[in-house]
A and B are shown apart, each in its own frame.
Chain A
Amino acid sequence: GAGVSQSPRYKVAKRGQDVALRCDPISGHVSLFWYQQALGQGPEFLTYFQNEAQLDKSGLPSDRFFAERPEGSVSTLKIQRTQQEDSAVYLCASSFRRPPHRETQYFGPGTRLLVL
């Protein structure tokens, strides 16, 4: 079946512009994660959804970052008033079951954001 998909794959934004990044998880997956990967670094956790509930947003770097998953499937990560330090690859991952099951996370291809 289809894996996790993300769109757009590439986004160039001017500083101060708002952007929205979309994630389509694998159908039926309960858990959805967003990660940020800066150049030369490993992915860093941003936020976690269990169905439509955002249970952990401890990794969001500022209040300019906002994520939602209103119907428990597709998720959107929104960044307001983008800054140059927001330039990174944004990864989405999903897994089938909820905790305490420690399931494999399946990653999307990522959205590469460049803020000029």
Chain B
Amino acid sequence: AQRVTQPEKLLSVFKGAPVELKCNYSYSGSPELFWYVQYSRQRLQLLLRHISRESIKGFTADLNKGETSFHLKKPFAQEEDSAMYYCALSGLPGGGNKLTFGTGTQLKVEL
């Protein structure tokens, strides 16, 4: 079975401080990992995916297969980063690319 764990429900940091949102997963095959973000009163949207290796809005995430982690990082938090962040996993294509989500971490960036 595939599972995604986000241990922190709430993470509060000051503007300009580094941010790390933790995500661990369990899956026996070769998963694809994603970070989705939901800003206040907006729909869920993709932030980044591990295969693209992009940096979006200053965020990066590295897939660590040894530790089965996909932590989201940003060196300097901005006020507009305040949002709900979900880590998600997609398993083998036989599963139709359905996503398994973590419970989410609410990031609050304080001035």
A in complex with B: yes
Tell me the chain B residues, 4-38 only, with Cβ under 8 Å from chain A. Answer: 4, 6, 32, 36
A33 within 8 Å of B by Cβ? Answer: yes
A44 within 8 Å of B by Cβ? Answer: yes
Question: A73 to chain B: closest CB distance in Å?
Answer: 18
Question: B3 to chain A: closest CB distance in Å?
Answer: 11
Tell whether, in the assembled complex, residue B95 and residue A40 are in contact, meaning their CB atoms are under 8 Å apart.
no
Tell me the chain B residues, 78-111 only, with Cβ under 8 Å from chain A. Answer: 86, 88, 90, 93-104
Q: How many residues of A contact B (CB 8 A)?
A: 28
Tell me the chain A residues, 42-89 only, with Cβ under 8 Å from chain B. Answer: 42-45, 48, 50, 55-56, 59
Tell whether, in the assembled complex, residue A56 and residue B99 are in contact, meaning their CB atoms are under 8 Å apart.
no
Residues of B within 8 A of A31 (CB): 96-97
Residues of A within 8 A of B51 (CB): 102
CA distance A50 to B97 in the complex (A): 11
B43 within 8 Å of A by Cβ? Answer: yes
Residues of A within 8 A of B43 (CB): 3, 107-110
Residues of A within 8 A of B100 (CB): 45
Closest A residue by C-beta to B51:
A102
Tell whether, in the assembled complex, residue A42 and residue B98 are in contact, meaning their CB atoms are under 8 Å apart.
no
CA distance A105 to B95 in the complex (A): 14
Q: Out of A3, A35, A99, name the residue touching B96 (CB < 8 Å).
A: A99
Question: A5 to chain B: closest CB distance in Å?
Answer: 10
Binding site for B on A (CB under 8 A): 3, 31, 33, 35, 40-45, 48, 50, 55-56, 59, 91, 95, 99-100, 102-110
Beyond known contacts A31-B97, A99-B94, A109-B43: 11 more, CB 8 A cutoff: A41-B104, A44-B101, A48-B96, A48-B97, A99-B93, A102-B51, A103-B97, A105-B46, A107-B36, A107-B44, A108-B43
18 cross-chain CB contacts under 8 A: A31-B96, A33-B96, A35-B101, A42-B6, A42-B88, A43-B86, A48-B96, A48-B97, A48-B98, A50-B96, A59-B98, A99-B94, A100-B93, A105-B46, A105-B97, A105-B99, A106-B45, A107-B36
